[in-house]
């Protein structure tokens, strides 16, 4: 009994630390206060998409999500935050289990496995902190996306489709999964997801009536319409990061960023109409670049788990880049890509015995390590050296870091790993 307790001591200690963090972080209002307030106003028949919560923030999520939260409106905000953060711990756990199921983890040496786990979480620690501190839904949306894809790949099509459809309804971001599933010949999943999206849009009618639901659907569309000028410039807050924000700050001199520093950052000054064209061209290029990661002809399924992770990593990586109005916490979506790259580096540089240590290899090794270190600093600069946050946000260094990560992901394709013998690893 004592030996069992000693063996589990590290888990008990880790659980205690996590609980203390949750109890501490739950004290703040966070963004969940917005969700609960919108849910409370929904019961009162108010237009939840016009009201500004916490002084100036809109509720952007769907009606069903606000409806699901109505039982929690009867609890104190602190209790609700504690429950939500505990759920987020579970979501992170499931995300991690799915990622390591898609990786041939058994080809790593024991010490390198420990290094891999530590570095994987160190890399996204800043985004974990922000999501917990603000009680955000980003971890939940990534969980719905990955769990949905995991279920579908394991022939649990209806369950997987429900999860992905729910994620799309709540925050639209996982919609990038639909063309991917079509490309991978997942016809049933695609149709089920579309069907469940429609069901979730109109399900609230049962509780709030047809007219009220219709009004809110229209109001939400007005708020999230990508053609709104606010979403084209996307600079109303200094902390916004995405390609839309980056391109607006680079290509428009007076881009509407009232919090901008006096330091120059624009390299051109074009009209809003031309900016919109440029943004859509860049978005289209990133979406088309998905084909590079798929590696096969259309309408052909893949059963190779590592390849699935590689494809999914890119899809998740571009989500915070191509969608407007993205805060720092939204870049938790890089978790699959950063985890894949850390595994790739550890295996090739520290684990693989027969890799030739030529001069070219040493240069490549140093170059990749320098760039992944640069990515880490650019994406975690708020966490590492927060005194200069205004400069990071002014120049959108986070977006540059994710773009470099994208290039690294493209360079470090899984071909080398797939050519090695991979022992079968257990399912989660």
Residue with tokens 């600079």: 235
> What local confidence, expressed as pLDDT, does residue 136 receive?
92
For 211-236, the DSSP string reads HHHHHHHHHHHHHH-TTSHHHHH--S
For position 423, what pLDDT does the model report? Answer: 45
CB 61 within 8 A of CB 35: yes
**pLDDT on residue 266:** 85
**What is the model's pLDDT at position 79?**
94
Could you report the per-residue pLDDT of 145-168, keeping only the tens digit for each?
A: 999 999 999 999 999 999 999 999
Q: Kindly give the parts of the chain with pLDDT less than 50.
A: 355, 421-428
Radius of gyration of the CA atoms of the chain, in A: 22
Please name the helix (run of DSSP H) or strand (run of DSSP E) that holds residue 209, with its range, or none.
Answer: none
Other Cβ atoms less than 10 A from the Cβ of 227: the count is 7
Cα 176 from chain centroid (whole Å): 12
Whole-model pTM: value is 0.92
**Model pLDDT for residues 195-254, shown as the tens digit of each residue:** 999 999 999 999 999 999 999 999 999 888 877 766 677 777 778 889 999 999 999 888
pLDDT for res 364: 74
């Amino acid at each position: 009994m004592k030996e069992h307790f000693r063996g589990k001591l590290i888990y008990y200690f880790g659980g205690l630390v996590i609980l203390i963090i949750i109890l501490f972080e739950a004290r703040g209002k966070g963004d969940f206060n917005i969700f609960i307030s919108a849910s409370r106003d929904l019961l009162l028949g108010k237009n939840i998409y016009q009201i500004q919560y916490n002084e100036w923030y809109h509720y952007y999520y769907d009606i069903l999500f606000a409806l699901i939260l109505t039982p929690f409106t009867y609890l104190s905000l602190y209790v609700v935050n504690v429950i939500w953060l505990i759920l987020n711990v579970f979501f992170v756990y499931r995300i991690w289990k799915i990622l390591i199921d898609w990786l041939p983890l058994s080809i790593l040496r024991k010490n390198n496995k420990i290094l891999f786990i530590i570095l994987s979480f160190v890399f996204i620690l800043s985004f974990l902190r922000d999501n917990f501190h603000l009680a955000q839904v980003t971890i939940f949306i990534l969980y719905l996306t990955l769990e949905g894809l995991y279920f579908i790949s394991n022939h649990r099509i209806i369950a997987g489709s429900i999860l992905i459809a729910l994620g799309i309804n709540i925050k639209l971001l996982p919609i990038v999964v639909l063309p991917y599933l079509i490309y991978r010949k997942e016809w049933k999943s695609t149709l089920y997801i579309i069907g469940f999206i429609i069901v979730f849009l109109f399900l609230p009618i049962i509780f709030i009536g047809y007219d009220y639901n219709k009004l809110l659907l229209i109001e939400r569309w007005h708020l999230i319409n990508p053609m709104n000028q606010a979403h084209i410039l996307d600079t109303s807050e200094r902390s916004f990061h995405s390609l839309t924000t980056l391109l607006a700050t680079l290509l428009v001199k007076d881009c509407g960023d009232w919090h901008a520093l006096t330091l120059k950052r624009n390299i051109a000054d074009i009209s809003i109409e031309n900016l919109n064209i440029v943004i859509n061209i860049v978005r289209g290029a990133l979406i088309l670049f998905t084909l590079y990661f798929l590696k096969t002809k259309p309408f052909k399924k893949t059963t190779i788990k590592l390849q699935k992770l590689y494809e999914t990593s890119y899809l998740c990586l571009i989500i915070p880049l191509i969608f407007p109005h993205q805060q720092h916490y939204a870049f938790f979506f890089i978790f699959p890509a950063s985890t894949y790259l850390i595994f790739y580096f550890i295996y090739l540089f520290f684990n693989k015995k027969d890799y030739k240590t030529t001069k070219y290899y040493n240069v490549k090794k140093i170059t990749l390590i320098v760039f992944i270190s640069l990515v880490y600093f650019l994406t975690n600069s708020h966490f590492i050296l927060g005194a200069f946050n205004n400069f990071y946000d002014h120049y959108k260094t986070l977006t540059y870091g994710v773009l470099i990560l994208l290039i690294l992901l493209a360079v470090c394709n899984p071909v080398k790993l797939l050519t090695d013998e991979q022992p079968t690893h257990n399912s989660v």
